[in-house]
Amino acid sequence: MHPRADAPLHRPGLLGSETRVSGRRSSTAHRSAGVNAPTEISVPGRVAVLGMGLIGGSFALALSAADAEATIVGHDPDAEGLAAALERGVIHEAAGSAEAAVAGAGLVVLAMPVDLIPAACRALAGHVHPNAAVTDVGSAKLDVVTAGEEAFGGRFVGGHPMAGSERHGIDAADPELFGGAWWILTPTEQTSSDAYARVRALVGSLKALPVALDPSVHDALIARLSHVPQLAASALVSTAAAGGDREELLGLAAGGFRDVTRIAASSPELWVAILRSNRSAVLEGLGGLRDSLADLEEMIAAERWDDVREYLAAARTARLELFARPDPPGEPVTLAIPVQDRPGLLAEVTTAAGRLGANIEDLRIIHSTEGGQGRLEMVIAGAERAAALAEELRGLGYRVEELPPGVESYG
């Protein structure tokens, strides 16, 4: 379980407007001098989820499991799907429009198909409460984050849960879908530190593992890890089925073929939306795959079997290393960083952790009553990763201090 997965939803810094500060609540007077700190939110426990598909429905179920007091308002243009979500108890209220759903919500989750999210941001810009946090679950981020920040400014925090299924729709919703899965957040120089902390804490409460990446880095990585493999699986099935001997094919298809092509059963409509939203990165990834296949074709045509063996051995080693069970990270280490109220702070620090593979188990923002300086505290899993992150941040000009074990903060 994620270290903070069992935290209550209404603790400071989650859906409320208070940032977690050494286990106590900070006042709005203290927050006024913090890093891009928003003011009070009207209804902290009211959450609008727009999109009642697999991810939106699973999010709503997981959120209800994390906090029975949260009120979840859902909307979906598919009236039958929305009615089913209400009947199943996935949501508490069904709204007739997106505008009605977001009214008074302290958190808005955009869970519609990714290619519809930018337009939804523009349409809802004047309807979301001015201090609500807004996030999304789309698997392409650059265009979404650009539109989200144009509509909501620093209150928008891009997100992408690395979880899914070949099944889709509200009937496939699963409250355990996100357990143990990476949930990528994509802060930028505009991101409010308070909004980020609240969304990050929310992700942890769903038993997911939050990690920060730059939006463009996210899109390039996910194209290679998810989007191109989806196309490769579909191409394999199409190639195998092209001979017109489907009955024989079905009779001979073994576990390996089934495993490699499982994701080809996913929704075509969903994937067209994803590919459209991440077109450039997908094309680059397809080019890399094409080059690799061309190399293999050339080796086999020339009967260069030693080269083929080396290629396969290198791929085998990479596969084993990629999915090897990591060593236990060790005891958590708290890093304290004095911070000024300046754009880009949060994105710089958290994406540095993401690049180094440093798992941020907890994140706290200590707002100061004196001037614009506060303190950012991060709990990092393992002394080695914490030391590497501290060195990286010092190289970026930050003053980083390691707090003694058992000390959550000074002052």
Instruction: Please tell me whether residues 72 and 183 are part of one structural domain.
Output: yes
Phi, psi of 135 (to 5 degrees): -140, 170
When pLDDT is averaged across residues 357-382 and rounded to a whole number, the result is 76
Instruction: Please tell me whether residues 46 and 113 are part of one structural domain.
Output: yes
Using the predicted structure, report yes or no on whether residue 17 has a pLDDT greater than 70.
Answer: no
Domain edge (last residue) among 277, 304, 322: 322
When pLDDT is averaged across residues 70-94 and rounded to a whole number, the result is 95
**pLDDT for position 219:** 96
Domain edge (last residue) among 185, 213, 241: 213
Instruction: Please tell me whether residues 46 and 180 are part of one structural domain.
Output: yes
Does some domain include residue 19? no
Using the predicted structure, report yes or no on whether residue 8 has a pLDDT greater than 80.
Answer: no
DSSP string computed for 252-310: H--HHHHHHHGGGGS-HHHHHHHHHHTHHHHHHHHHHHHHHHHHHHHHHHTT-HHHHHH
Q: Higher confidence at residue 253 or residue 266? A: 266
Q: Higher confidence at residue 248 or residue 303? A: 303
Contact 158, 141 (CB under 8 A): yes
Q: How does residue 371 score in pLDDT terms, banded at 50, 70 and 90?
A: low
When pLDDT is averaged across residues 339-345 and rounded to a whole number, the result is 70
Q: How does residue 359 score in pLDDT terms, banded at 50, 70 and 90?
A: confident
Instruction: Please tell me whether residues 182 and 145 are part of one structural domain.
Output: yes
The domain total for the chain is 3
**pLDDT for position 343:** 65
Three-state DSSP at 6 gives: coil
- 211-220, 286-295, 327-336, range with greatest mean pLDDT: 286-295
Q: Higher confidence at residue 377 or residue 145? A: 145
Q: How does residue 301 score in pLDDT terms, banded at 50, 70 and 90?
A: very high
From residue 143, alpha-carbon distances to 148, 152, 168, 185, 189 in Å are 9, 14, 24, 14, 16
When pLDDT is averaged across residues 330-354 and rounded to a whole number, the result is 81
**Range name among 163-167, 223-227, 231-235, 359-363 with the lowest pLDDT average:** 163-167
**Range name among 122-136, 237-251, 314-328, 383-397 with the lowest pLDDT average:** 237-251
Instruction: Please tell me whether residues 105 and 177 are part of one structural domain.
Output: yes
Does some domain include residue 374? yes
Per residue in 313-322, pLDDT tens? 999 999 988 8
Q: What is the pTM of this model?
A: 0.77
- Tokens describing residue 13: 């810094």
**pLDDT for position 345:** 76
Helix axes 268-277, 279-301, angle to 10 degrees: 100
Domain edge (last residue) among 322, 357, 385: 322
DSSP string computed for 48-64: EEE--SHHHHHHHHHHH
End-to-end Cα spacing for the chain:
31
**pLDDT for position 411:** 44
Q: Considering the chain, what percentage of its residues have pLDDT values greater than 70?
A: 82
**Range name among 47-51, 56-60, 348-352 with the lowest pLDDT average:** 348-352
Using the predicted structure, report yes or no on whether residue 160 has a pLDDT greater than 90.
Answer: yes
**pLDDT for position 403:** 83
For residue 301, the Cα-to-chain-centroid distance in whole angstroms is 43
For residue 198, give the H/E element and its range.
Answer: helix 193-205
Instruction: Please tell me whether residues 306 and 248 are part of one structural domain.
Output: yes
Instruction: Please tell me whether residues 49 and 149 are part of one structural domain.
Output: yes
Q: How does residue 58 score in pLDDT terms, banded at 50, 70 and 90?
A: very high
Does some domain include residue 103? yes
Specify the CATH number for the domain of residue 359: 3.30.70.260
Look-up of token digits 């849960």: 161
Does some domain include residue 177? yes
For residue 182, give the H/E element and its range.
Answer: strand 182-186
When pLDDT is averaged across residues 163-180 and rounded to a whole number, the result is 87
Instruction: Please tell me whether residues 191 and 278 are part of one structural domain.
Output: no
Q: Higher confidence at residue 9 or residue 312? A: 312
Per residue in 64-79, pLDDT tens? 999 888 999 999 999 9
Q: How does residue 24 score in pLDDT terms, banded at 50, 70 and 90?
A: very low
Instruction: Please tell me whether residues 64 and 182 are part of one structural domain.
Output: yes
- Rounded distance between C-alpha atoms, residue 39 and residue 29, angstroms: 10
Could you list the residue range(s) of the whole structural domain that residue 355 is in?
A: 332-403
Instruction: Please tell me whether residues 109 and 167 are part of one structural domain.
Output: yes
Using the predicted structure, report yes or no on whether residue 40 has a pLDDT greater than 70.
Answer: no
Instruction: Please tell me whether residues 41 and 190 are part of one structural domain.
Output: yes
When pLDDT is averaged across residues 167-180 and rounded to a whole number, the result is 90
Does some domain include residue 222? yes
Specify the CATH number for the domain of residue 235: 1.10.3660.10
Using the predicted structure, report yes or no on whether residue 354 has a pLDDT greater than 80.
Answer: yes
